[in-house]
Structure 1
Amino acid sequence: MGIGNELKCDDGVGPYIINKLKDENIENDGLLFIDAKTVPENFTGKIRKESPTHIIIVDACLMGGEPGDMKIVSEEDFANIGISTHSMSLSFFVRYLQQGTDFKITFVGIEPESMDYDDRPTENVEKAAEEFVKILKGIIL
């Protein structure tokens, strides 16, 4: 699941990654790529219906690193990172998804450089996104 606003430069890194994966036609019956934009809560029903074993959520996060830095963010760290462009707090969203389920959720944050209005990520964040796509393809294929 990619989360973010594609019109706000690096905030759109989550949807950027999902669209790259879709463009490479690696979807199959065991995978579901969701471009949740800024409303991941709209997809809770779909996720529960699919009953996945794992969910990977990727979003731009202010973690105090260099632009393009990637980090797996633990639930405990949600309070220490900045994620502010979504209508629902991601920590609440993750807790809601976990209720009554047993799938594993991995949250990957990518440090943004700019959240200004632009329809594409900055160079460092785009490089990180491309690297993340390579990593996922290596796991999936």
Structure 2
Amino acid sequence: MSFKNELIDFLKDYEKLIILGIGNELKFDDGVGPFIISKLNELNLNDDVLLINAQTVPENFTGKIRMEKPSHIIIIDACLMGLSPGEFKIVNEDDFVNIGISTHSMSLSYFVKFLNHDNILFIGIEPETLELIDQDSLGVLGADLMDFNGCLTENVERSANEIINLLEEIL
């Protein structure tokens, strides 16, 4: 089944959806989750969609998630899956042990179990680089670049925009 069809199938009967973007925007492609949330915030999505930029602390939002009582949750994050940079896929909970996600204080497998929710979809995007940005060496131009595109590499930004377009089309 294609990614689009899996997404359509997952969302076919949602009543309230939370999309959670996870990542560190100072580590280039690790900021893809927050980048996607930022771009989705610019769209006119349904009122039954709540967007959360969880940055590197998704566990700080468990109370809000439970309070909102979503029927479905989508989690988006960069993760090392052995794919080409920018490739993305739906990651099964059982596969969490085989992927690398290192910028969070709580493991995502534990986070998902802690949410104790039946309808969670995890979208993993293969990063090209997760190097920490040295803000002092960036200067004014670097600050502008961070504001412009979150410093994603070209392949990851292209994939992020593809995911954004799919979500806009489906929702």
1:113 matched residue in structure 2: 128
* Superimposed CA distance per residue, residues 65-102 of structure 1 (whole angstroms, 9 cap, x where no aligned partner): 0000011000110000000100000000000001xx4x
Letter of the aligned partner of 2:131 in structure 1? D
SS of the residue corresponding to residue 116 of structure 1 reads coil
Partner of 2:161: 130
Identical-residue share of aligned pairs (%):
62
TM-score normalised per structure 1: 0.93
2:109 aligned with 1:66: no
Q: Structure 2 length normalisation: TM-score?
A: 0.77
Cα separation, 2, equivalents of 1:123 and 1:29:
31
Question: In 1, distance between residues paired with 2:89 and 2:68?
Answer: 26
Quote the Cα distance in structure 2 between the aligned partners of 1:22 and 1:29.
12
What's the counterpart of residue 104 of structure 1?
A: 119
Distance in 2, Cα, partners of 1:56 & 1:5: 18
Q: Distance in 2 between matches of 1:110 and 1:42?
A: 22
Structure 2 residue 43 is matched with structure 1 residue 19: no
Task: From the CA coordinates, give the structure whose radius of gyration is larger.
Answer: 2
For residues 75 and 24 of structure 1, what CA distance do their matches in structure 2 show? 29
**Structure 1 residue runs of 4 or more that deviate by more than 3 Å after TM superposition:** none
Q: Secondary structure at the match of 2:131?
A: coil
Instruction: Report the structure, 1 or 2, having the larger helix content.
Output: 2
Structure-1 separation of matches of 2:104 and 2:82: 19
Deviation at 1:25, TM superposition (A): 3.3
Measured after TM superposition, the shift of residue 24 of structure 1 is: 2.0
Task: Tell me the SS of whatever aligns to 1:76.
Answer: helix
